[in-house]
Chain A
Amino acid sequence: MSELLTKLPAQLRELATDSLYERLAYSHDMSPVEGFLTGDWLKTVPDLVVLPHSREDVALLLAWAEEERIPVTPRGAGSTSLFQSVPAKGGVVCDLSWLNTIGPWDLTAGTVRVGAGTIIYDLIQQAEMRGWTLATFPSSAPGGTIGGWFNNGGRGYGALLHGNLLEQVRGLEVVLPGGRIEWLTRDNSELPIEWFLGSEGTLGIVTQLEIELLRRPEAQGHIAFGFHDIAELQDFLTNYLWGPFLPYNVTFVSTTSGGQQLQRINWDAMLPSNFFVASFFGSLDHVELGIQRMRAFKSEYRVRQLPNWQAEKFWQDRYYNFRLQRTGPSLLGAEVVVPLAMISHYTRGIEQLATAQRKPMITYGYLINRKEVYVTTMFWSDEARTISYLLDLSLVSALYNIALKAEGKPVGIGLWNTPYLRHIYSARERRAMWERKQKLDPQLILNPGKTYRATKLLRPSVFSPAMLLTRGFRKLITRIGRARS
Protein backbone atom coordinates (compact mmCIF):
# COMPACT_ATOMS: atom_id res chain seq x y z
CA MET A 1 0.00 0.00 0.00
CA SER A 2 1.42 3.38 -0.97
CA GLU A 3 2.10 5.99 1.70
CA LEU A 4 -0.55 8.26 0.25
CA LEU A 5 -3.16 5.53 0.41
CA THR A 6 -2.42 4.91 4.08
CA LYS A 7 -2.89 8.62 4.72
CA LEU A 8 -6.30 8.66 3.07
CA PRO A 9 -9.23 8.72 5.53
CA ALA A 10 -10.24 5.16 6.37
CA GLN A 11 -13.75 5.55 4.86
CA LEU A 12 -12.24 6.39 1.50
CA ARG A 13 -9.58 3.71 1.47
CA GLU A 14 -11.81 0.96 0.20
CA LEU A 15 -13.01 3.26 -2.59
CA ALA A 16 -9.43 3.97 -3.63
CA THR A 17 -6.69 2.20 -5.49
CA ASP A 18 -2.98 2.77 -5.87
CA SER A 19 -2.47 -0.05 -8.37
CA LEU A 20 -0.27 1.24 -11.18
CA TYR A 21 -2.30 -0.68 -13.74
CA GLU A 22 -5.47 1.04 -12.59
CA ARG A 23 -3.82 4.47 -12.38
CA LEU A 24 -2.48 4.20 -15.92
CA ALA A 25 -6.06 4.05 -17.15
CA TYR A 26 -6.49 7.64 -15.95
CA SER A 27 -3.32 9.04 -17.52
CA HIS A 28 -4.88 9.84 -20.87
CA ASP A 29 -8.11 10.84 -22.57
CA MET A 30 -9.33 10.63 -26.15
CA SER A 31 -6.42 12.56 -27.61
CA PRO A 32 -3.83 10.26 -29.12
CA VAL A 33 -0.89 12.03 -27.46
CA GLU A 34 2.46 10.30 -27.61
CA GLY A 35 3.93 9.49 -24.20
CA PHE A 36 7.07 11.52 -24.79
CA LEU A 37 5.01 14.65 -25.35
CA THR A 38 3.79 14.48 -21.79
CA GLY A 39 7.08 12.99 -20.51
CA ASP A 40 8.87 14.92 -17.81
CA TRP A 41 7.02 18.18 -17.57
CA LEU A 42 3.67 16.65 -16.64
CA LYS A 43 2.66 14.06 -14.11
CA THR A 44 -0.29 12.50 -15.89
CA VAL A 45 -0.35 9.27 -13.90
CA PRO A 46 -2.24 9.94 -10.66
CA ASP A 47 -0.91 8.65 -7.36
CA LEU A 48 -4.32 7.44 -6.31
CA VAL A 49 -7.72 6.92 -7.85
CA VAL A 50 -10.80 7.35 -5.68
CA LEU A 51 -14.30 6.30 -6.78
CA PRO A 52 -16.74 8.03 -4.43
CA HIS A 53 -20.20 6.61 -3.90
CA SER A 54 -21.74 9.72 -2.38
CA ARG A 55 -21.32 13.48 -2.09
CA GLU A 56 -20.09 12.87 1.46
CA ASP A 57 -17.23 10.76 0.07
CA VAL A 58 -16.34 13.61 -2.28
CA ALA A 59 -16.52 16.11 0.58
CA LEU A 60 -14.26 13.96 2.74
CA LEU A 61 -11.79 13.63 -0.12
CA LEU A 62 -11.65 17.37 -0.76
CA ALA A 63 -11.28 18.20 2.94
CA TRP A 64 -8.40 15.77 3.23
CA ALA A 65 -6.81 16.91 -0.04
CA GLU A 66 -6.84 20.52 1.08
CA GLU A 67 -5.27 19.66 4.39
CA GLU A 68 -2.60 17.52 2.74
CA ARG A 69 -2.27 19.85 -0.27
CA ILE A 70 -2.82 17.00 -2.70
CA PRO A 71 -4.09 17.88 -6.21
CA VAL A 72 -7.46 16.39 -7.12
CA THR A 73 -8.59 15.94 -10.71
CA PRO A 74 -12.30 15.17 -11.15
CA ARG A 75 -13.19 12.83 -13.99
CA GLY A 76 -16.42 11.80 -15.66
CA ALA A 77 -15.98 9.45 -18.60
CA GLY A 78 -12.65 10.93 -19.66
CA SER A 79 -14.04 11.43 -23.13
CA THR A 80 -12.64 14.87 -23.83
CA SER A 81 -9.43 15.44 -25.73
CA LEU A 82 -7.68 18.41 -24.15
CA PHE A 83 -6.63 16.58 -20.97
CA GLN A 84 -9.42 18.31 -19.02
CA SER A 85 -9.68 15.27 -16.77
CA VAL A 86 -6.11 14.02 -16.92
CA PRO A 87 -3.88 15.12 -14.06
CA ALA A 88 -1.09 17.52 -14.89
CA LYS A 89 0.45 17.23 -11.44
CA GLY A 90 -0.37 13.73 -10.23
CA GLY A 91 -2.30 13.52 -6.98
CA VAL A 92 -5.77 11.97 -6.86
CA VAL A 93 -8.17 11.34 -9.70
CA CYS A 94 -11.73 11.43 -8.42
CA ASP A 95 -13.66 9.15 -10.80
CA LEU A 96 -17.32 10.12 -10.51
CA SER A 97 -18.68 7.15 -12.49
CA TRP A 98 -20.57 5.74 -9.53
CA LEU A 99 -22.46 8.90 -8.75
CA ASN A 100 -24.88 7.76 -11.40
CA THR A 101 -28.29 7.70 -9.76
CA ILE A 102 -31.15 8.89 -11.95
CA GLY A 103 -34.05 10.27 -9.91
CA PRO A 104 -36.09 11.30 -8.11
CA TRP A 105 -38.32 12.46 -10.96
CA ASP A 106 -40.86 15.23 -10.67
CA LEU A 107 -42.97 14.59 -13.74
CA THR A 108 -45.40 17.35 -12.89
CA ALA A 109 -42.67 19.94 -12.99
CA GLY A 110 -40.77 17.96 -15.64
CA THR A 111 -37.51 17.78 -13.71
CA VAL A 112 -35.14 15.07 -12.59
CA ARG A 113 -32.19 14.92 -10.24
CA VAL A 114 -29.27 13.10 -11.70
CA GLY A 115 -25.84 12.09 -10.41
CA ALA A 116 -22.94 13.79 -12.18
CA GLY A 117 -21.49 10.45 -13.30
CA THR A 118 -24.63 9.42 -15.20
CA ILE A 119 -24.06 8.59 -18.84
CA ILE A 120 -26.14 11.06 -20.84
CA TYR A 121 -27.61 8.39 -23.08
CA ASP A 122 -28.92 6.48 -20.04
CA LEU A 123 -30.66 9.63 -18.87
CA ILE A 124 -32.22 10.17 -22.29
CA GLN A 125 -33.48 6.56 -22.36
CA GLN A 126 -34.96 6.81 -18.88
CA ALA A 127 -36.60 10.14 -19.64
CA GLU A 128 -38.07 8.85 -22.91
CA MET A 129 -39.59 5.87 -21.12
CA ARG A 130 -41.49 8.45 -19.07
CA GLY A 131 -42.59 10.57 -22.03
CA TRP A 132 -39.90 13.21 -21.63
CA THR A 133 -36.50 13.86 -23.14
CA LEU A 134 -33.46 16.09 -22.80
CA ALA A 135 -33.82 19.44 -24.50
CA THR A 136 -30.22 19.30 -25.62
CA PHE A 137 -27.58 16.59 -25.71
CA PRO A 138 -24.10 16.13 -27.13
CA SER A 139 -23.15 13.85 -30.01
CA SER A 140 -21.08 11.89 -27.51
CA ALA A 141 -24.10 11.07 -25.30
CA PRO A 142 -23.46 7.27 -25.21
CA GLY A 143 -20.00 7.91 -23.75
CA GLY A 144 -20.04 11.17 -21.84
CA THR A 145 -21.39 11.93 -18.38
CA ILE A 146 -23.80 14.72 -17.59
CA GLY A 147 -21.40 16.25 -15.07
CA GLY A 148 -18.49 16.10 -17.51
CA TRP A 149 -20.59 17.71 -20.20
CA PHE A 150 -21.67 20.53 -17.89
CA ASN A 151 -18.07 21.10 -16.84
CA ASN A 152 -17.11 21.42 -20.48
CA GLY A 153 -19.68 23.98 -21.51
CA GLY A 154 -22.82 21.88 -22.14
CA ARG A 155 -23.14 22.60 -25.86
CA GLY A 156 -25.08 20.12 -27.93
CA TYR A 157 -27.75 19.28 -30.46
CA GLY A 158 -30.90 21.22 -29.74
CA ALA A 159 -29.06 24.24 -28.36
CA LEU A 160 -30.27 26.21 -31.37
CA LEU A 161 -33.85 25.91 -30.17
CA HIS A 162 -33.46 25.40 -26.43
CA GLY A 163 -30.14 26.95 -25.46
CA ASN A 164 -27.26 25.03 -23.94
CA LEU A 165 -27.37 22.76 -20.89
CA LEU A 166 -27.17 25.74 -18.53
CA GLU A 167 -30.66 26.73 -19.62
CA GLN A 168 -31.95 23.36 -18.44
CA VAL A 169 -30.13 23.21 -15.10
CA ARG A 170 -32.45 24.12 -12.24
CA GLY A 171 -30.06 23.22 -9.46
CA LEU A 172 -26.52 22.10 -8.96
CA GLU A 173 -24.90 20.24 -6.10
CA VAL A 174 -21.25 21.02 -5.84
CA VAL A 175 -18.55 20.10 -3.35
CA LEU A 176 -16.13 22.96 -2.90
CA PRO A 177 -12.43 22.66 -2.11
CA GLY A 178 -12.21 22.05 1.63
CA GLY A 179 -15.29 19.82 1.50
CA ARG A 180 -18.22 22.23 1.81
CA ILE A 181 -21.33 20.86 0.05
CA GLU A 182 -23.50 23.49 -1.65
CA TRP A 183 -26.84 23.23 -3.44
CA LEU A 184 -26.98 26.06 -5.95
CA THR A 185 -30.14 27.37 -7.56
CA ARG A 186 -30.68 29.78 -10.42
CA ASP A 187 -31.17 32.73 -8.06
CA ASN A 188 -27.99 32.19 -6.07
CA SER A 189 -26.05 35.38 -6.55
CA GLU A 190 -23.14 34.61 -4.28
CA LEU A 191 -22.25 31.40 -6.05
CA PRO A 192 -23.91 31.47 -9.48
CA ILE A 193 -24.38 28.19 -11.31
CA GLU A 194 -22.84 29.88 -14.36
CA TRP A 195 -19.46 29.95 -12.65
CA PHE A 196 -19.29 26.18 -12.83
CA LEU A 197 -20.42 25.80 -16.41
CA GLY A 198 -17.32 25.08 -18.49
CA SER A 199 -15.08 25.43 -15.44
CA GLU A 200 -13.45 22.07 -16.24
CA GLY A 201 -13.55 20.86 -12.67
CA THR A 202 -11.31 23.62 -11.37
CA LEU A 203 -13.74 25.35 -8.99
CA GLY A 204 -15.57 22.49 -7.32
CA ILE A 205 -16.71 18.94 -7.97
CA VAL A 206 -20.23 18.81 -9.35
CA THR A 207 -21.97 15.79 -7.83
CA GLN A 208 -25.61 16.24 -8.82
CA LEU A 209 -27.73 18.29 -11.23
CA GLU A 210 -31.41 19.02 -11.37
CA ILE A 211 -32.41 19.10 -15.00
CA GLU A 212 -35.53 20.51 -16.57
CA LEU A 213 -36.81 18.08 -19.17
CA LEU A 214 -38.67 18.56 -22.41
CA ARG A 215 -41.87 16.71 -23.30
CA ARG A 216 -41.14 14.18 -26.02
CA PRO A 217 -42.02 16.00 -29.22
CA GLU A 218 -45.15 14.99 -31.05
CA ALA A 219 -43.40 14.91 -34.41
CA GLN A 220 -40.05 15.16 -36.08
CA GLY A 221 -38.92 15.77 -39.64
CA HIS A 222 -35.57 16.11 -41.37
CA ILE A 223 -34.61 17.85 -44.57
CA ALA A 224 -31.22 18.11 -46.27
CA PHE A 225 -29.83 20.39 -48.98
CA GLY A 226 -26.62 20.17 -50.96
CA PHE A 227 -24.71 23.24 -52.14
CA HIS A 228 -22.09 23.79 -54.74
CA ASP A 229 -20.77 26.76 -52.85
CA ILE A 230 -20.41 26.97 -49.07
CA ALA A 231 -21.13 30.71 -49.20
CA GLU A 232 -24.61 29.91 -50.44
CA LEU A 233 -25.12 27.42 -47.63
CA GLN A 234 -24.13 30.12 -45.16
CA ASP A 235 -26.42 32.64 -46.77
CA PHE A 236 -29.35 30.21 -46.92
CA LEU A 237 -29.09 29.38 -43.22
CA THR A 238 -28.52 32.95 -42.10
CA ASN A 239 -31.63 34.10 -43.91
CA TYR A 240 -33.75 31.18 -42.85
CA LEU A 241 -32.85 31.44 -39.19
CA TRP A 242 -34.14 34.97 -38.84
CA GLY A 243 -37.66 33.88 -39.58
CA PRO A 244 -40.16 31.62 -37.79
CA PHE A 245 -40.08 27.84 -37.35
CA LEU A 246 -36.62 27.40 -35.95
CA PRO A 247 -35.27 23.88 -36.43
CA TYR A 248 -34.28 21.83 -33.41
CA ASN A 249 -30.91 21.28 -34.97
CA VAL A 250 -28.94 22.08 -38.10
CA THR A 251 -25.79 20.14 -38.91
CA PHE A 252 -23.60 21.00 -41.86
CA VAL A 253 -20.77 19.09 -43.53
CA SER A 254 -18.05 20.34 -45.82
CA THR A 255 -15.32 18.18 -47.28
CA THR A 256 -12.19 19.18 -49.10
CA SER A 257 -12.21 16.24 -51.45
CA GLY A 258 -15.89 15.50 -51.85
CA GLY A 259 -17.36 12.07 -52.22
CA GLN A 260 -14.08 10.26 -51.77
CA GLN A 261 -13.94 11.26 -48.12
CA LEU A 262 -17.62 10.71 -47.57
CA GLN A 263 -17.26 7.20 -48.87
CA ARG A 264 -14.43 6.57 -46.42
CA ILE A 265 -16.88 7.14 -43.62
CA ASN A 266 -19.70 5.09 -45.11
CA TRP A 267 -21.72 8.04 -46.29
CA ASP A 268 -23.04 8.21 -49.78
CA ALA A 269 -20.24 9.23 -52.13
CA MET A 270 -22.77 11.06 -54.28
CA LEU A 271 -23.49 13.57 -51.54
CA PRO A 272 -22.31 17.05 -52.46
CA SER A 273 -19.19 18.49 -50.84
CA ASN A 274 -21.28 20.94 -48.83
CA PHE A 275 -24.61 20.07 -47.33
CA PHE A 276 -26.72 20.63 -44.26
CA VAL A 277 -29.41 18.66 -42.52
CA ALA A 278 -32.13 20.49 -40.61
CA SER A 279 -34.14 18.60 -37.99
CA PHE A 280 -37.49 19.93 -36.85
CA PHE A 281 -39.00 18.70 -33.57
CA GLY A 282 -42.23 19.78 -31.99
CA SER A 283 -45.92 19.82 -32.86
CA LEU A 284 -47.01 18.41 -36.21
CA ASP A 285 -47.70 21.95 -37.41
CA HIS A 286 -44.31 23.25 -36.39
CA VAL A 287 -42.53 20.42 -38.18
CA GLU A 288 -44.61 20.63 -41.34
CA LEU A 289 -44.50 24.40 -41.60
CA GLY A 290 -40.79 24.49 -40.86
CA ILE A 291 -40.03 22.02 -43.62
CA GLN A 292 -42.37 23.85 -46.01
CA ARG A 293 -40.70 27.17 -45.31
CA MET A 294 -37.28 25.68 -45.85
CA ARG A 295 -38.38 24.15 -49.14
CA ALA A 296 -39.74 27.50 -50.22
CA PHE A 297 -36.32 29.06 -49.60
CA LYS A 298 -34.79 26.60 -51.99
CA SER A 299 -35.86 28.46 -55.09
CA GLU A 300 -33.63 31.42 -54.28
CA TYR A 301 -30.43 29.37 -54.24
CA ARG A 302 -28.45 27.01 -56.43
CA VAL A 303 -29.30 24.14 -54.22
CA ARG A 304 -30.30 20.49 -54.45
CA GLN A 305 -32.64 18.90 -51.97
CA LEU A 306 -31.27 15.53 -50.91
CA PRO A 307 -33.50 12.47 -50.59
CA ASN A 308 -35.42 12.26 -47.32
CA TRP A 309 -33.87 8.96 -46.34
CA GLN A 310 -30.48 10.59 -46.41
CA ALA A 311 -31.61 13.37 -44.11
CA GLU A 312 -33.17 10.84 -41.76
CA LYS A 313 -30.14 8.59 -41.78
CA PHE A 314 -27.97 11.55 -40.91
CA TRP A 315 -30.05 12.18 -37.81
CA GLN A 316 -30.09 8.50 -36.89
CA ASP A 317 -26.31 8.54 -36.94
CA ARG A 318 -26.12 11.55 -34.62
CA TYR A 319 -24.02 9.71 -32.04
CA TYR A 320 -21.69 8.20 -34.57
CA ASN A 321 -19.54 11.00 -35.91
CA PHE A 322 -16.55 9.05 -34.70
CA ARG A 323 -16.99 6.36 -37.27
CA LEU A 324 -14.57 8.52 -39.19
CA GLN A 325 -11.91 6.75 -37.20
CA ARG A 326 -12.57 3.43 -38.89
CA THR A 327 -10.65 4.74 -41.85
CA GLY A 328 -7.87 5.96 -39.51
CA PRO A 329 -5.54 4.83 -38.11
CA SER A 330 -5.65 8.06 -36.07
CA LEU A 331 -7.76 11.16 -36.24
CA LEU A 332 -6.57 14.62 -35.46
CA GLY A 333 -8.65 17.74 -35.45
CA ALA A 334 -9.88 20.84 -33.75
CA GLU A 335 -13.15 21.89 -32.20
CA VAL A 336 -14.00 25.54 -32.54
CA VAL A 337 -16.94 27.89 -32.39
CA VAL A 338 -17.21 30.05 -35.50
CA PRO A 339 -19.79 32.75 -36.31
CA LEU A 340 -22.26 31.47 -38.89
CA ALA A 341 -21.51 34.59 -40.91
CA MET A 342 -17.89 33.46 -41.21
CA ILE A 343 -18.39 29.78 -42.01
CA SER A 344 -17.52 30.16 -45.68
CA HIS A 345 -14.43 32.10 -44.69
CA TYR A 346 -13.46 29.32 -42.31
CA THR A 347 -14.04 26.43 -44.71
CA ARG A 348 -12.14 28.23 -47.47
CA GLY A 349 -9.22 28.54 -45.08
CA ILE A 350 -9.48 24.82 -44.43
CA GLU A 351 -9.49 24.11 -48.15
CA GLN A 352 -6.35 26.17 -48.64
CA LEU A 353 -4.61 24.40 -45.80
CA ALA A 354 -5.69 21.00 -47.09
CA THR A 355 -4.34 21.81 -50.55
CA ALA A 356 -1.07 23.26 -49.30
CA GLN A 357 -0.45 20.35 -46.95
CA ARG A 358 -2.00 17.71 -49.24
CA LYS A 359 -4.18 16.55 -46.43
CA PRO A 360 -7.87 15.92 -47.09
CA MET A 361 -10.02 17.34 -44.31
CA ILE A 362 -13.61 17.05 -43.30
CA THR A 363 -15.53 19.71 -41.40
CA TYR A 364 -18.84 19.29 -39.72
CA GLY A 365 -20.67 21.45 -37.28
CA TYR A 366 -23.99 22.24 -35.76
CA LEU A 367 -25.62 25.49 -34.85
CA ILE A 368 -25.61 26.30 -31.16
CA ASN A 369 -27.62 29.48 -31.62
CA ARG A 370 -28.71 31.65 -34.50
CA LYS A 371 -25.28 33.16 -34.87
CA GLU A 372 -22.73 30.51 -33.99
CA VAL A 373 -21.69 27.09 -35.19
CA TYR A 374 -19.86 24.46 -33.16
CA VAL A 375 -17.42 23.14 -35.71
CA THR A 376 -15.11 20.14 -35.79
CA THR A 377 -12.51 19.77 -38.51
CA MET A 378 -10.74 16.45 -38.78
CA PHE A 379 -8.03 14.80 -40.76
CA TRP A 380 -6.36 11.44 -40.72
CA SER A 381 -2.94 10.67 -39.37
CA ASP A 382 -1.08 7.67 -37.97
CA GLU A 383 0.11 7.86 -34.40
CA ALA A 384 2.27 4.78 -34.92
CA ARG A 385 4.44 6.80 -37.37
CA THR A 386 5.85 9.18 -34.83
CA ILE A 387 7.60 11.75 -37.04
CA SER A 388 4.80 12.27 -39.50
CA TYR A 389 2.33 12.22 -36.64
CA LEU A 390 4.23 15.01 -34.88
CA LEU A 391 4.31 17.01 -38.09
CA ASP A 392 0.59 16.47 -38.47
CA LEU A 393 0.03 17.74 -34.95
CA SER A 394 1.22 21.15 -36.11
CA LEU A 395 -1.79 21.25 -38.43
CA VAL A 396 -4.09 21.34 -35.43
CA SER A 397 -2.71 24.74 -34.49
CA ALA A 398 -3.16 25.78 -38.13
CA LEU A 399 -6.84 24.86 -37.84
CA TYR A 400 -7.13 27.03 -34.75
CA ASN A 401 -5.45 29.89 -36.54
CA ILE A 402 -7.93 29.62 -39.39
CA ALA A 403 -10.77 29.71 -36.85
CA LEU A 404 -9.27 32.75 -35.16
CA LYS A 405 -9.04 34.53 -38.50
CA ALA A 406 -12.70 33.72 -39.02
CA GLU A 407 -13.51 35.37 -35.69
CA GLY A 408 -13.96 31.98 -34.08
CA LYS A 409 -12.33 30.47 -31.05
CA PRO A 410 -11.22 27.07 -29.80
CA VAL A 411 -13.63 25.13 -27.61
CA GLY A 412 -12.38 24.10 -24.18
CA ILE A 413 -9.03 24.75 -22.60
CA GLY A 414 -7.81 21.84 -20.50
CA LEU A 415 -4.10 21.60 -21.02
CA TRP A 416 -3.61 21.65 -24.75
CA ASN A 417 -5.57 24.80 -25.48
CA THR A 418 -3.87 26.95 -22.84
CA PRO A 419 -1.78 28.63 -25.57
CA TYR A 420 -5.07 30.02 -26.91
CA LEU A 421 -6.40 31.34 -23.60
CA ARG A 422 -6.23 34.95 -24.63
CA HIS A 423 -8.20 34.17 -27.79
CA ILE A 424 -10.85 32.23 -25.94
CA TYR A 425 -11.44 34.72 -23.15
CA SER A 426 -10.94 38.47 -23.02
CA ALA A 427 -8.57 39.93 -20.43
CA ARG A 428 -11.54 40.89 -18.29
CA GLU A 429 -13.02 37.43 -18.44
CA ARG A 430 -9.68 35.87 -17.57
CA ARG A 431 -9.33 38.19 -14.57
CA ALA A 432 -12.83 37.27 -13.38
CA MET A 433 -12.10 33.57 -13.79
CA TRP A 434 -8.91 33.86 -11.82
CA GLU A 435 -10.65 35.78 -9.04
CA ARG A 436 -13.23 33.00 -8.75
CA LYS A 437 -10.51 30.42 -8.64
CA GLN A 438 -8.73 32.27 -5.86
CA LYS A 439 -11.92 32.73 -3.95
CA LEU A 440 -12.99 29.10 -4.10
CA ASP A 441 -9.72 27.25 -4.37
CA PRO A 442 -6.94 29.48 -3.06
CA GLN A 443 -4.60 26.54 -2.59
CA LEU A 444 -5.09 25.43 -6.20
CA ILE A 445 -6.05 21.90 -5.23
CA LEU A 446 -8.58 21.27 -7.96
CA ASN A 447 -7.29 20.23 -11.36
CA PRO A 448 -4.12 22.33 -11.16
CA GLY A 449 -1.80 23.17 -14.05
CA LYS A 450 -4.57 23.78 -16.58
CA THR A 451 -7.35 26.12 -17.69
CA TYR A 452 -5.97 29.38 -16.23
CA ARG A 453 -2.46 29.68 -17.61
CA ALA A 454 -0.13 27.82 -19.90
CA THR A 455 2.80 25.85 -18.56
CA LYS A 456 6.22 26.89 -19.84
CA LEU A 457 6.26 24.76 -22.98
CA LEU A 458 2.78 25.81 -23.97
CA ARG A 459 3.26 29.55 -23.53
CA PRO A 460 2.36 31.28 -26.79
CA SER A 461 5.89 32.72 -27.07
CA VAL A 462 7.29 29.18 -27.28
CA PHE A 463 4.36 27.30 -28.70
CA SER A 464 3.42 29.48 -31.68
CA PRO A 465 6.87 29.69 -33.30
CA ALA A 466 7.41 25.96 -32.67
CA MET A 467 4.16 25.13 -34.43
CA LEU A 468 4.90 27.51 -37.28
CA LEU A 469 8.29 25.93 -37.79
CA THR A 470 6.90 22.41 -37.70
CA ARG A 471 4.18 23.31 -40.15
CA GLY A 472 6.70 24.90 -42.49
CA PHE A 473 8.81 21.78 -42.26
CA ARG A 474 5.81 19.60 -43.00
CA LYS A 475 4.95 21.70 -46.02
CA LEU A 476 8.52 21.44 -47.25
CA ILE A 477 8.48 17.67 -46.91
CA THR A 478 5.15 17.54 -48.71
CA ARG A 479 6.56 19.64 -51.55
CA ILE A 480 9.64 17.45 -51.85
CA GLY A 481 7.37 14.42 -51.90
CA ARG A 482 5.22 16.02 -54.58
CA ALA A 483 8.27 16.98 -56.68
CA ARG A 484 9.58 13.43 -56.48
CA SER A 485 6.30 11.91 -57.49
Chain B
Amino acid sequence: MTCNEFTTELSSLKYPSDISQEMQNHRTTCPQCARVYHEAVVLMQFISEEKTLKVSPFLKTHIAAKLDEPLNTSWYARPAILTVASIIVFILGIVSANILESSEKINPMESIASDYYFQNNYGTQLEEIWINTNYYEE
Protein backbone atom coordinates (compact mmCIF):
# COMPACT_ATOMS: atom_id res chain seq x y z
CA MET B 1 0.00 0.00 0.00
CA THR B 2 1.30 3.46 -0.90
CA CYS B 3 0.96 6.58 1.27
CA ASN B 4 -1.36 8.08 -1.33
CA GLU B 5 -3.61 5.04 -1.23
CA PHE B 6 -3.62 5.18 2.56
CA THR B 7 -4.64 8.85 2.78
CA THR B 8 -7.25 8.51 0.03
CA GLU B 9 -8.82 5.47 1.66
CA LEU B 10 -8.73 7.17 5.04
CA SER B 11 -10.69 10.11 3.60
CA SER B 12 -13.33 7.71 2.28
CA LEU B 13 -13.97 6.07 5.65
CA LYS B 14 -16.57 7.45 8.01
CA TYR B 15 -14.29 7.02 11.02
CA PRO B 16 -10.53 6.45 11.20
CA SER B 17 -11.18 3.43 13.39
CA ASP B 18 -12.75 1.72 10.36
CA ILE B 19 -9.35 1.13 8.70
CA SER B 20 -8.62 -2.22 7.11
CA GLN B 21 -5.86 -4.59 8.22
CA GLU B 22 -3.79 -3.51 5.22
CA MET B 23 -4.07 0.15 6.26
CA GLN B 24 -3.28 -0.82 9.83
CA ASN B 25 -0.09 -2.54 8.64
CA HIS B 26 0.92 0.48 6.58
CA ARG B 27 0.28 2.84 9.49
CA THR B 28 2.58 0.91 11.82
CA THR B 29 5.46 1.08 9.35
CA CYS B 30 4.95 4.63 7.99
CA PRO B 31 5.39 7.55 10.43
CA GLN B 32 3.91 10.02 7.94
CA CYS B 33 0.66 8.09 7.56
CA ALA B 34 0.63 7.37 11.29
CA ARG B 35 0.58 11.15 11.81
CA VAL B 36 -2.21 11.66 9.26
CA TYR B 37 -4.18 8.91 10.99
CA HIS B 38 -3.60 10.54 14.39
CA GLU B 39 -4.87 13.90 13.06
CA ALA B 40 -8.02 12.20 11.80
CA VAL B 41 -8.57 10.67 15.24
CA VAL B 42 -8.08 14.08 16.89
CA LEU B 43 -10.57 15.64 14.45
CA MET B 44 -13.20 13.04 15.37
CA GLN B 45 -12.47 13.61 19.04
CA PHE B 46 -12.99 17.35 18.56
CA ILE B 47 -16.35 16.71 16.90
CA SER B 48 -17.52 14.35 19.62
CA GLU B 49 -16.49 16.86 22.32
CA GLU B 50 -18.53 19.57 20.62
CA LYS B 51 -21.45 17.17 20.26
CA THR B 52 -21.51 16.47 23.99
CA LEU B 53 -22.46 20.11 24.69
CA LYS B 54 -26.10 20.40 25.64
CA VAL B 55 -28.41 23.22 24.66
CA SER B 56 -29.49 25.45 27.54
CA PRO B 57 -32.71 24.23 29.23
CA PHE B 58 -33.91 27.86 29.18
CA LEU B 59 -33.65 28.23 25.42
CA LYS B 60 -37.15 26.93 24.83
CA THR B 61 -38.57 29.60 27.13
CA HIS B 62 -36.52 32.33 25.45
CA ILE B 63 -37.79 31.24 22.06
CA ALA B 64 -41.40 31.02 23.24
CA ALA B 65 -41.16 34.59 24.53
CA LYS B 66 -39.97 35.81 21.14
CA LEU B 67 -42.50 34.05 18.95
CA ASP B 68 -44.90 36.99 18.96
CA GLU B 69 -42.28 39.54 18.04
CA PRO B 70 -42.25 40.61 14.41
CA LEU B 71 -39.83 38.64 12.23
CA ASN B 72 -36.63 40.23 10.94
CA THR B 73 -36.33 42.74 13.75
CA SER B 74 -33.15 43.87 12.04
CA TRP B 75 -35.31 45.39 9.29
CA TYR B 76 -37.21 47.30 11.92
CA ALA B 77 -33.94 48.32 13.53
CA ARG B 78 -32.52 49.58 10.25
CA PRO B 79 -34.31 52.95 10.16
CA ALA B 80 -33.08 53.52 13.71
CA ILE B 81 -29.51 52.69 12.67
CA LEU B 82 -29.87 54.99 9.65
CA THR B 83 -31.13 57.83 11.84
CA VAL B 84 -28.26 57.43 14.29
CA ALA B 85 -25.77 57.21 11.42
CA SER B 86 -27.23 60.36 9.81
CA ILE B 87 -26.93 62.27 13.08
CA ILE B 88 -23.31 61.13 13.47
CA VAL B 89 -22.54 62.19 9.88
CA PHE B 90 -24.25 65.54 10.51
CA ILE B 91 -22.26 66.16 13.70
CA LEU B 92 -19.04 65.07 11.99
CA GLY B 93 -19.88 67.50 9.19
CA ILE B 94 -20.22 70.41 11.63
CA VAL B 95 -17.06 69.43 13.50
CA SER B 96 -15.01 69.07 10.33
CA ALA B 97 -16.39 72.37 8.98
CA ASN B 98 -15.27 74.05 12.20
CA ILE B 99 -11.83 72.51 11.89
CA LEU B 100 -11.54 73.65 8.28
CA GLU B 101 -12.79 77.10 9.15
CA SER B 102 -10.28 77.44 11.95
CA SER B 103 -7.51 76.21 9.66
CA GLU B 104 -8.44 79.02 7.27
CA LYS B 105 -7.73 81.45 10.09
CA ILE B 106 -4.13 80.45 9.90
CA ASN B 107 -1.64 83.13 10.77
CA PRO B 108 -0.68 84.81 7.48
CA MET B 109 2.92 84.71 8.60
CA GLU B 110 2.67 80.94 8.54
CA SER B 111 1.13 81.00 5.08
CA ILE B 112 4.00 83.12 3.85
CA ALA B 113 6.46 80.68 5.32
CA SER B 114 4.67 77.72 3.77
CA ASP B 115 4.39 79.46 0.42
CA TYR B 116 8.06 80.05 0.64
CA TYR B 117 8.73 76.48 1.48
CA PHE B 118 6.64 75.10 -1.38
CA GLN B 119 7.86 77.63 -3.94
CA ASN B 120 11.21 75.90 -3.70
CA ASN B 121 12.90 79.20 -4.48
CA TYR B 122 15.14 79.55 -1.44
CA GLY B 123 14.56 83.23 -0.68
CA THR B 124 14.40 84.89 -4.07
CA GLN B 125 10.64 85.40 -3.91
CA LEU B 126 10.23 85.67 -0.16
CA GLU B 127 10.19 89.42 -0.21
CA GLU B 128 7.69 89.46 -3.07
CA ILE B 129 5.30 87.14 -1.23
CA TRP B 130 5.63 89.33 1.81
CA ILE B 131 4.74 92.41 -0.14
CA ASN B 132 1.81 90.76 -1.90
CA THR B 133 0.07 89.73 1.30
CA ASN B 134 -2.27 92.06 3.06
CA TYR B 135 -0.87 91.27 6.41
CA TYR B 136 1.25 93.76 8.23
CA GLU B 137 2.22 93.75 11.85
CA GLU B 138 0.29 96.38 13.68
The yes or no verdict on A and B being binding partners is no
Measured CB to CB, the residues of A under 8 A from B are: none
